[in-house]
Structure 1
């Protein structure tokens, strides 16, 4: 089974369109979104409308929750005072322009997805969250230790845990013992479509491939592939400027 995973679009419609077009080439069996549809690039309603039009199941990220419940301020990451002020101004702008229908949609997004893939030897359980298994605000980094990652997976009975929120893609197979069997569990961050924080500035999404005869005793039973897609960054910069927001993220968008 092949699953495409997207996350952290943040109102960046050009990036989302580029990613969805790229995903089509791979013909996945399913597409899931791990949250944070809104707040940053200004196409918030258009992003939600496109996700809904394509019937893509989506989780509730911290920005979705904040805008969904009309919060004037909520936790978000920033690197300096200019980006902090940008965030305050962006939240205000989105709250003023989001439609009632889309606000209601954001309010009702779920916290967790779990799916089961029945293979020849195993039923593999995939769990998806925005931040962590307990909070859509928690940053689970690549440096997070194995014990905590396994603890999260065991708490929700998952073999594979897929996350967003940090905007940085990574994958780690973790060797462990479960029910007297030696297996590998997998922790994956799927990266960001609309506000990527990897070393390049391209939109990122993840392809998760699980073969029917996959054996969890083999680390390669789960294949994780990160895809990076070019999109018209300067169009996004112009859009942000048209909203009356600052250029605090221009260099970030251009250079990653």
Structure 2
């Protein structure tokens, strides 16, 4: 099986369409989404519709839950809460119906998927070895997929030793030996200094993972953010990938 993995789209339709266009050339068997379709960005309904059409598996993220009213917005930053309130005001019945039944955890025969982490599937950021090691201890699958941090990451646990770090676009991970925790990065709001939309191709047959980056018209998303009166910082950060 060969699947594309995306996460943290955050209402950025131009980034999502760029990724879906690239994925179409990857000859994958399906697409998995690790959550946060909405929040921050200006096109929540369109992003939900695109993911509903394209994804064979989708998780719910903390921003999705906030927009649905299932997490208090006081738990978010001011900018995130402002964007969530706006998203609540425009969320369509169709988008709500798609998001409502989604869970923050899923699994297949070889892969366990979490929006954030096994220890806290909604909120925990897995950015370092301690959190990654905890994730390995709480799971048994050869491959663990997480999102939430907006950073493309790869950790490997082999012979009791853990190693890993942020990985650039174009990196290829050999999955033949050890257990792996992978983060595809963010489609709609990368935070690793690379503003291009991120995704992952997971080839379970060939035992490799390919971290991909694709450019998109950032200025169009920035314009839409400003047109909707969302916080200026949410537009500015996209150009810097932070």
TM range (shorter): 0.7 to 0.9
- C-alpha displacement at 1:199, in angstroms? 2.1
What's the counterpart of residue 85 of structure 2?
92
Of the three residues 91, 95, 104, the one matched with 1:111 is 104
Name which of structure 1's ranges 95-104 and 31-40 shifts more when overlaid on structure 2: 95-104
The superposition leaves residues 114-171 of structure 1 with CA deviations (integer Å, 9 ceiling, x where unpaired) of 112xxxxxxxx11111001142111111343563232122xxx311100000000111
What's the counterpart of residue 202 of structure 2?
208
Note if contact 1:142-1:170 (Cα within 8 Å) is conserved in structure 2: no
Note if contact 1:146-1:174 (Cα within 8 Å) is conserved in structure 2: no
Inter-CA distance 74–5: structure 2 relative to 1 (3 Å threshold): farther
What's the counterpart of residue 166 of structure 2?
none
Inter-CA distance 93–145: structure 2 relative to 1 (3 Å threshold): closer
Q: Secondary structure at the match of 1:174?
A: strand
- 1:130 and 2:115 matched: yes
Return the alpha-carbon distance in structure 2 between the equivalents of residues 251 and 231 of structure 1: 15
TM-score, length of structure 1 as denominator length? 0.81
Q: From the CA coordinates, give the structure whose radius of gyration is larger.
A: 1
How much is the aligned-residue C-alpha RMSD, in angstroms? 1.9
Return the alpha-carbon distance in structure 2 between the equivalents of residues 146 and 58 of structure 1: 22
What's the counterpart of residue 172 of structure 1?
155
What's the counterpart of residue 158 of structure 1?
141
Return the alpha-carbon distance in structure 2 between the equivalents of residues 71 and 95 of structure 1: 12
- C-alpha displacement at 1:55, in angstroms? 4.3
Inter-CA distance 174–234: structure 2 relative to 1 (3 Å threshold): same
Return the alpha-carbon distance in structure 2 between the equivalents of residues 71 and 160 of structure 1: 29
The superposition leaves residues 222-255 of structure 1 with CA deviations (integer Å, 9 ceiling, x where unpaired) of 3121100100100011100011123113332112
**Alignment gaps of 5+ in structure 2:** 161-176
Inter-CA distance 130–55: structure 2 relative to 1 (3 Å threshold): closer
Of the three residues 223, 233, 238, the one matched with 1:253 is 238
